Structure 1
Amino acid sequence: MSIRRPYVESPIIMATVRLVAPFVLTYGLFVTLHGASSPGGGFQGGVIAASVIVMLSFAYGIDPTWEWLDKRVLVGLAAGGIAVFAIVALGPILFGAEFLDLGVYPYVPDPFKYGIELIEVGIGMTVAGVITILFFALSRGAMPPGGEPYPKPSDAPRSAGAARADGSPSNPASDSAPADGTDPSAESIDEPTGTEPATSTDASNAGEQA
């Protein structure tokens, strides 16, 4: 089993992430907003925006970044994006039109253009929130709390049914036996000395002969 090393901060990575993160977030917003008229869209922009949080986690640690994040913001992004899409898509039904018939919105110069951009923003919000939540769920679930490395297999106590290194099952009695091969559970037995102890009858006969 591979041993996970403890996280060590790198000044070079931290400085690079601080410099690059604002530009990455700006590019994610650009891709999201221009998805209606150019290559891009809400899904691509949301993933790029979520990669900013991933970079911060790599630079400052997963647990510190998770504690720094406001969980309400993540939930708000995921739920708010769904709400924006639902409002824009279901709104035409209130004006007697069909689902996603954006041309019926009054007082909007180009309802199709701005309506699609709002939908892309909603998709980007949901994707960014879900990707961030999934990243922390997978990364924090695969490592112990605090980022400490996993214990070595040799440090874990061997159970009664554990197998030896050669594949044979372990025997608790033999594992606890001393190195000299003696059995500690065996009771000590006095060996015969060759002479039997004198009884009371023998002692009385010896007194009569005397």
Structure 2
Amino acid sequence: MSHDESTDGESPIRTQPRNSVFRTEDQTPYVESTIIMTTVRVVAPFILTLGLFVMFHGADSAGGGFQGGTIAGTVVLLLAFAFGIEPVRDWLNADRLLGLVAVGLLTFLGIGFGAMLFGGAFLQYNAYPYSHASKYGIELVELGIGATVAGIITGLFFLLAAGFETDEPMEDEQ
């Protein structure tokens, strides 16, 4: 009996071959679910809005860039689970994710070094000659952190979803 046959007449359970850590060519194909796709279409904008709210509200209360970026990044995971990982990966290619991370990092560094241009220390918001500079500076830094975190979480998800194979035997096979 092969590794994917069943003895009790129920549907077969596929197991991973020993030399494949995550990915095999005989994985079950993606199956569309109208209920899941419709639910994600409705819920995704609200989750993204919640992520942005947590990012922007982090200066005044609990929350911030990391938490908001994580929530915003999960929207992409929801889209991938509902519409398929490959189409979402093709839509949000590595260049776009790298761009998102770079924009977030440059925003953070721009605000930090911008304060130094006005004679302050790195991220010393009151060095800016604007009213409420501290509030706006913190908001922009949180937004930059959120963009970076969302890009990294999404990139890690796609990296793990792609899987990897190894030619080396696992420890228990030796």
TM-score, with structure 2 as normaliser: 0.77
Rounded Cα–Cα distance in structure 2 between residues aligned with 1:68 and 1:92: 37
2:37 to 4, 14, 26: 14
Per-residue CA deviations over 1:114-149 (Å, capped at 9, x if unaligned) read 111110000001001111111001111259xxxxxx
CA separation in 1, counterparts of 2:56 and 2:160?
A: 29
Q: Distance in 2 between matches of 1:70 and 1:6?
A: 21
Which deviates further from its counterpart, 1-10 or 24-33?
1-10
What corresponds to 1:109 in structure 2? 131
The percentage of aligned residue pairs carrying the same residue is 55
Q: For 2:154 and 2:31, how far apart are their aligned partners in 1?
A: 22
Q: Name stretches of at least 5 consecutive residues in structure 1 with no aligned partner.
A: 144-210
Q: Secondary structure at the match of 1:16?
A: helix
Conserved 8 A contact 1:63-1:140: no
Question: How many aligned positions are there?
Answer: 142
Alpha-carbon distance between aligned partners in 1 of 2:119 and 2:91, rounded to the nearest angstrom: 46
Cross-structure match for 2:15: 2
2:15 and 2:61 map into 1 onto residues whose CA distance is: 45
Aligned residue number for residue 123 of structure 1: 145
2 CA distance for matches of 1:133 and 1:61? 15
Alignment of 1:79-158 (within 5 A): 79-106=102-129, 108-141=130-163
Q: Output the amino acid matched with 1:30.
A: F
2:68 aligns to what SS in structure 1? helix
Q: Retained in 1: the 8 A contact 2:94–2:155?
A: no
Q: Paired residue for 1:57?
A: 80
| CA deviations over 1:72-129 (Å, ceiling 9, x no partner) | 32111100111000011111221222122110101x2111111111100000010011
CA contact (8 A) 2:57 2:64 kept: yes
- Taking the aligned partners of 1:17 and 1:72, their CA distance within structure 2 comes to 25
Contact 1:29 1:45 in 2 (8 A): yes
Cα distance in 2, alignment partners of residues 109 and 42 from structure 1 = 23
- What SS does the corresponding residue of 2:138 show, helix, strand or coil? helix
Does the alignment pair 1:26 with 2:49? yes
Computing the radius of gyration over CA atoms, which structure comes out larger, 1 or 2?
Answer: 1
For structure 2, the residue ranges without an aligned partner over 5 or more in a row are 1-13, 17-26, 166-174
Given that 1:77 and 1:125 are in contact with CA atoms closer than 8 Å, whether structure 2 keeps it comes out as yes
TM-score, length-scaled by structure 1: 0.64
